[in-house]
Every structure is written in structure tokens, then in C-alpha cells.
Chains A and B, each alone.
Chain A
């Protein structure tokens, strides 16, 4: 019996990204994309496209520098 292939993840449209563009000042929004240990979640979990995931990474790192978000925990 042939192994069933997992259905491909539907592509996230640009609309989602436009409505939820990450910004380092919006701490409550950024907190949703951190794990319990303070790690940045993967693209699969965040739902962002490639460019916006990079923007998310940058925003979180800026917020961490300003002590708005923790590095760990």
C-alpha cells in the first residue's frame, strides 16, 4: 500500500501579512510568536511568508535589545 502523502500547506496570502505586520513596539503582538522559553517560533507556526518572518525576527530582536521582550524565559 502506497504511503499517503501529507497535503501541502496552503500558501498564506499577502493579506494576512499586511494586516499583521510585525513592529518592535507592538510587544503584545510579538509575544504570540515566542515559545515558552522565549524562542522565535517557526514559519509554520507563525503563518508568516518568508519576507514577513524575517521582519518578525528583526522586530523581536529589536524589542529584546530594548528590554521589551526577554532573551530567555
Chain B
């Protein structure tokens, strides 16, 4: 089978990025390597507020990777990321070649003086306080004997 090049964008949980950036990046690259992919470049794309909450998060870190894959294990990679709690979203696309700019950006990130800015703390969606259920009032059952029924006839 011919080797093909792919581009992937992964949305990572900010909690993982706060712990350690290398560990967060490894969550992406390890999955790729596990399924026989060769990672060409991998870099931090952006950290931003999401357009809508994803798995209870308002913010997330995007990671951009280019890799080659020979085997037909794409479905396994997708499934692994879908089941992972660290990965919020992923998108894998087929590309012809890695853009020249990507190599430069990835190299800049690998340099020693690159520091990952700490994500802002407001990435969790604030849950609305659940109002305590008011005690149900006792249902008044009228005593049928007390009701004056109109006399028939």
C-alpha cells in the first residue's frame, strides 16, 4: 500500500496542557506512533475560546500534526481519539505534502527558548446551581361525606 500524507488537528483539554505540555503533545503523537504512523511535524496551533462548549470545556488547545501512514489503521486512530478523555475533538485530512511553513513553525517550537503560555483558568463551563426541589404540598383530598350534593328530583 502506498504511503500517504495526512494532516490532523486535535483539540486537547487545557487541564492536560497545564500539567505538562510535552505530556499533552505525547497524547497525540503516541497514538499516531502506536498505529504505525510516522509523525513528520507536530506543533501547538493555538489556544482559544471555543465557539461552543465541547465536553464541558469553554477553552481548548489545538495541536496540528502532519504524518504519513502506510497501513489501513486510520479507523483505529479515530476511535482511540474518540474514546480518549484528553482529546476533545479531532479532524484528519488527506494532503499532498507538508507545507514548507509547517517545518519552520515546528522547528521554532522544538527550540529551547520556546515556552508554552499557560492557558487561562476559565476553561470549564460553569454549571448552573440546581434549585432545590420545593417540598410537595400535601394534596388535599376532599371528604366526600362533607360535600352537600343537590337532592335529586
Contact surface of A with B, Cβ cutoff 8 Å: 24-25, 62, 64-71
- Chain A-chain B contacts (Cβ-Cβ < 8 Å), number: 30
B115 lies within 8 A of chain A by Cβ: no
* Candidate in B9, B45, B64, B88 with the most chain A CB atoms within 10 angstroms: B9
A67 to B88 Cα, complex, angstroms? 10
Complex partner residue of B89 from A66, A69, A71, CB under 8 angstroms: A66
Q: Verify B89–A67 contact, CB threshold 8 A.
A: yes
Task: Taking A65-B91, A67-B51, A67-B89 as given, write out 9 further A-B residue pairs in contact, using a Cβ cutoff of 8 Å, ordered by the A residue number.
Answer: A24-B91, A25-B45, A62-B91, A65-B89, A66-B62, A66-B89, A67-B60, A68-B50, A70-B52
**Nearest-neighbor residue (CB-CB) of B64 within chain A:** A25
Residues on A with beta carbons closer than 8 Å to the beta carbon of B52: 67, 70-71
**A-side contacts of B91, CB under 8 Å:** 24, 62, 65-66
A2 to B93, CA, bound (A): 54
| Contact surface of B with A, Cβ cutoff 8 Å | 9, 11, 45, 48, 50-52, 54, 60, 62, 64, 88-89, 91, 93
User: Of all chain B residues, which has the CB nearest A64?
Assistant: B51
Task: Name the B residues within 8 Å of A68 (CB-CB).
Answer: 48, 50-51
28 contacts between A and B (CB under 8 A): A24-B91, A25-B9, A25-B45, A25-B64, A62-B91, A62-B93, A65-B89, A65-B91, A66-B9, A66-B11, A66-B62, A66-B89, A66-B91, A67-B11, A67-B50, A67-B51, A67-B52, A67-B54, A67-B60, A67-B88, A67-B89, A68-B48, A68-B50, A68-B51, A69-B51, A70-B51, A70-B52, A71-B51
What residue in chain B is nearest A72 (Cβ atoms)?
B52
| Distance to closest chain A CB from B82 (angstroms) | 13
Residues from chain A with Cβ under 8 Å of B51 in the complex: 64, 67-71
Q: Which residues of chain B have C-beta atoms less than 8 A from A64's C-beta?
A: 51
Q: Report chain A residues within 8 Å CB of B54.
A: 67
Kindly name the residue among A24, A67, A70 whose own CB sees the greatest number of chain B CB atoms within 10 A.
A67
**Cα of A67 to Cα of B123 in the assembled complex, Å:** 14
Shortest distance in angstroms between B64's beta carbon and chain A's nearest beta carbon?
8
